[in-house]
């Protein structure tokens, strides 16, 4: 029976009429801009060898690529990125060309997104690469084209944020760190996870770099952050990166586009891709990054041609999907709160912030509740993450347990130190969970956390997803143990279970949508400052 003949696979979709027209119109507008500036079109195959992307430079995990094999059994992938194939093309087909070469493309990339996240796996990108020119003028050309690309395709307002890979590496290179510590610092800086970054840095031997790294995720906003950064940390390399950004900004100012530019020194080079300037575009009405780019001087050499390059890619779907109800400076800031366990303490926190919570306490069946000029939304924990990730809510209060299980793209800016509990592995009293050779079965409401815990121990276990009262599973003989949250420990005790090992401490966190943070910076920072003060009372 043809079970799937009438539907498209999850992550893909049809585009009909207006939707296809919108896409075509964005692509045509962008192509016209590229052609005006003498960029020439290239098309690379949708299917490439896995080796083109296997060095981890794209930031896409190998597991998230669509893999196939060719006629000889060699692994191929549907391209997850456009820059690597173009680097391959330049290093092979254009190595004798008169550089610089200016190329543009309109073609899709394919990345497996998590199920039911409202994202397509096939992403139409439109972008340019300026290859063979390592100068400031080349960066200016590409950045001003990025501004122009957004201005020609968007009706509402937008911002382009600029950072520099060199500033962060100048600090990091002076420190004696393991590869894991480096990766964690990168990750926490990029996700503006001040709490986790602070914890990690406090465990290291004190040095001047630590103070600078702690401040780095907060170094974003207008051009003044460059002076702040200069005071915070001084070295020849870091000054070079800051001088570069300053000159770049001044040139963009002369071109009349500086009001569209914000600086973020917390933009770091997680994927080893970028070597100099990095930039991202955010649009009013979109919760995601609509444009991203930067300088990548070492990438083409991986294909055998030493050649500097700079470029950007626009997410065409994201531009077409700009909606009024997503981040929009006209509507009140919207805060998603977690129902249940964290609800009372969140309301109390609002009260400590001096907010009038009467309507929130007497909400009845209302789902969007006005709170003193803000809007509060009460939802289940995983939904708080979804609403914030998509930008329909700007800020969220949610437990670290849910973040660990449903990790996603947002800034995790504060540990509220409320709703404290811990993840544990527990099993029936008197039983040695680790004894014997039989494969263990573990029940959990948090299958990802449970699987990762056992993976880190090199232990192969069966994890069964249970929706609630997970303590029942070992009592009924379904599982040998459970991975769950424990607060007072009374549920475990009353059911004859004991904690075998603690997995991680949990508390409520504040998360912020990435685009909101950039487009509504002042309002969000002032709200967060009030919240931080209140959380310490
Ligand atoms: C959590 C958790 C445990 C219990 C632990 O469940 O899954 O069952 O609380 O708390 P304690 O250590 O204070 O006894 P929750 O109350 O969130 O309900 P659920 O099982 O319906 O999800």
Cα 462 to Cα 447: distance, rounded to the nearest angstrom: 10
**Quick one: DSSP state of residue 218?**
G
Q: Which of 344, 424, 469, 506 to mutate to test the pocket of ligand 1 (most atoms within 8 A of CB)?
A: 469
Tokens standing for residue 112: 């497996």
For the beta carbon of residue 381, count every other beta carbon within 10 angstroms: 23
DSSP E strands: which ranges in 355-445?
368-371, 374-379, 395-399, 411-415, 421-428, 441-444
Whose alpha carbon is nearest atom 22 of ligand 1? 468
For the beta carbon of residue 249, count every other beta carbon within 10 angstroms: 17
Tokens standing for residue 115: 């199920």
Kindly report the pTM of this predicted structure.
Answer: 0.93
Q: Which atom of ligand 1 is nearest to the CA of 467?
A: 22
Tokens standing for residue 73: 């059994």
**b/e string for 485-505 if b means 16 or more Cβ within 10 A?**
bbeeeebbeebebebbeebee
User: Tokens 């029942």 identify what position?
Assistant: 472
pLDDT of residue 99: 97
For 71-83, the pLDDT digits (tens) are 999 999 999 999 9
CA 523 to chain centroid, in Å, comes to 21
Q: Which of 485, 505, 506, 508 to mutate to test the pocket of ligand 1 (most atoms within 8 A of CB)?
A: 485
Q: How far, in Å, are 64, 427, 454, 462, 498 from residue 473 at the CA level?
A: 32, 10, 18, 13, 14
Q: Are strands 122-131 and 309-315 parallel, antiparallel or unpaired?
A: antiparallel
pLDDT of residue 511: 97
Q: Mean of the pLDDT values across residues 474-483?
A: 97
Q: At a CB cut-off of 8 Å and minimum separation 6, what does 259 contact?
A: none
Nearest-5° angle of CA 429, CA 432, CA 434? 140
Whether the CB of 491 sits within 6 Å of ligand 1: yes
pLDDT of residue 159: 95
Q: Mean of the pLDDT values across residues 212-220?
A: 92
pLDDT of residue 271: 63
Q: Which helix (H) or strand (E) holds 294?
A: strand 291-295
Q: Which atom of ligand 1 is nearest to the CA of 491?
A: 14
pLDDT of residue 57: 76
Q: How far, in Å, are 177, 278, 317 from residue 283 at the CA level?
A: 37, 17, 13
Residue 199 Rama label (left phi>0; alpha psi -120 to 50; beta)? alpha
User: Tokens 């276990």 identify what position?
Assistant: 461
Cα 29 to Cα 51: distance, rounded to the nearest angstrom: 34
For 113-131, the pLDDT digits (tens) are 887 777 899 999 999 999 9
Whose alpha carbon is nearest atom 6 of ligand 1? 469
Whose alpha carbon is nearest atom 17 of ligand 1? 341
Cα 19 to Cα 392: distance, rounded to the nearest angstrom: 21
Q: Which atom of ligand 1 is nearest to the CA of 490?
A: 14
Whose alpha carbon is nearest atom 16 of ligand 1? 341
Cα 196 to Cα 189: distance, rounded to the nearest angstrom: 9
CA 466–ligand 1 middle distance (angstroms): 13
The angle that helices 165-172 and 208-215 make with each other, rounded to 10 degrees, is 150
pLDDT at 532 over 90: yes
pLDDT at 270 over 70: no
For the beta carbon of residue 91, count every other beta carbon within 10 angstroms: 19
Whether the CB of 393 sits within 6 Å of ligand 1: no
Q: Which atom of ligand 1 is nearest to the CA of 468?
A: 20
Which residues lie across from 512 on neighbouring strands?
395, 411
Query: What count of Cα atoms within 13 Å lies in the side-chain half-sphere of residue 285?
Result: 14
Cis peptide bond prior to 123, omega within 30° of 0: no
For 428-468, the pLDDT digits (tens) are 999 999 999 999 999 999 999 999 999 999 999 999 999 98
Tokens standing for residue 315: 């997410």
Whether the CB of 484 sits within 6 Å of ligand 1: yes
53-62, 394-403, 466-475: lowest mean pLDDT where?
53-62
Whether the CB of 485 sits within 6 Å of ligand 1: yes
pLDDT of residue 330: 83
Q: Which of 474, 475, 486 to mutate to test the pocket of ligand 1 (most atoms within 8 A of CB)?
A: 486
Q: Which atom of ligand 1 is nearest to the CA of 486?
A: 12
Q: Which atom of ligand 1 is nearest to the CA of 489?
A: 12
For 337-387, the pLDDT digits (tens) are 999 889 999 999 999 999 999 999 888 888 899 999 999 999 999 999 999
């Amino acid at each position: 029976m043809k079970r799937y003949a009438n539907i498209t696979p999850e992550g893909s979709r049809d585009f009909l009429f207006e939707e296809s027209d919108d896409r075509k119109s964005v692509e045509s507008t962008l192509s016209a801009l590229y052609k005006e500036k003498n960029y020439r079109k290239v098309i690379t195959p949708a299917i490439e060898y896995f080796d083109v992307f296997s060095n981890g430079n794209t930031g896409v995990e190998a597991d998230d690529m669509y893999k196939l094999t060719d006629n000889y059994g060699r692994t191929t992938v549907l391209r997850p990125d456009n820059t690597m194939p173009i680097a391959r093309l330049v290093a092979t087909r254009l190595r004798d060309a008169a550089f610089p070469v200016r190329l543009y493309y309109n073609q899709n990339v394919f990345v497996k997104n998590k199920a039911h996240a409202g994202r397509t796996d096939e992403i139409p990108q439109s972008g340019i690469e300026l290859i063979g020119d390592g100068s400031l003028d080349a960066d200016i050309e590409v950045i001003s084209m990025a501004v122009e690309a957004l201005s020609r395709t968007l009706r509402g307002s937008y911002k382009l944020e600029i950072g520099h890979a060199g500033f962060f590496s100048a600090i990091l290179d002076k420190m004696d760190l393991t590869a894991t510590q480096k990766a964690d610092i990168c990750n926490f800086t990029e996700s503006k996870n001040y709490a986790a970054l602070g914890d990690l840095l406090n465990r290291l031997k004190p040095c001047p770099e630590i103070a600078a790294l702690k401040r780095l995720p907060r170094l974003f906003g207008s051009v003044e952050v460059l002076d702040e950064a200069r005071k915070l940390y001084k070295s020849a390399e870091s000054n070079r990166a800051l001088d570069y950004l300053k000159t770049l900004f001044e040139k963009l100012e002369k071109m009349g586009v500086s009001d569209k530019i914000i600086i973020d020194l917390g933009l770091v080079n997680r994927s080893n891709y970028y070597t100099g300037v990095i930039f991202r575009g955010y649009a009013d009405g979109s919760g995601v990054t609509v444009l991203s780019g930067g300088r990548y001087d070492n990438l083409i050499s991986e294909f055998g041609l030493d050649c500097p390059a700079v470029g950007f890619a626009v997410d065409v779907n994201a531009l077409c999907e700009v909606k009024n109800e997503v981040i929009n400076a006209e509507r009140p800031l919207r805060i998603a709160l977690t129902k249940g366990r964290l609800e009372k303490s969140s309301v109390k926190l609002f009260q400590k912030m001096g907010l009038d919570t009467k309507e929130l306490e007497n909400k009845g069946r209302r789902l969007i509740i006005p709170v003193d000029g803000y809007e509060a939304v009460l939802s289940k924990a995983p939904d708080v993450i979804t609403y914030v990730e998509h930008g329909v809510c700007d800020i969220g209060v949610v437990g670290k347990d849910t973040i660990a299980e449903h990790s996603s793209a947002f800034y995790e800016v504060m540990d509220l130190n409320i709703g404290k509990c811990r993840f544990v592995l527990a099993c029936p009293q008197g039983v040695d969970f680790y004894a014997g050779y039989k494969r263990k079965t573990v029940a959990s409401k948090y299958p990802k956390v449970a699987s990762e815990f056992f993976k880190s121990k090199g232990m192969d276990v069966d994890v069964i997803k249970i929706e609630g009262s997970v303590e029942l599973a070992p009592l009924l003989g379904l599982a040998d143990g459970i991975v769950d949250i424990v607060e007072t420990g009374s549920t475990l005790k009353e059911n004859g279970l004991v904690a075998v090992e603690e997995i991680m401490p949990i508390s409520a966190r504040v998360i912020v949508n990435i685009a909101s943070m950039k487009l509504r910076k002042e309002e969000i920072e002032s709200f967060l400052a009030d919240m931080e003060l209140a959380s310490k009372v």
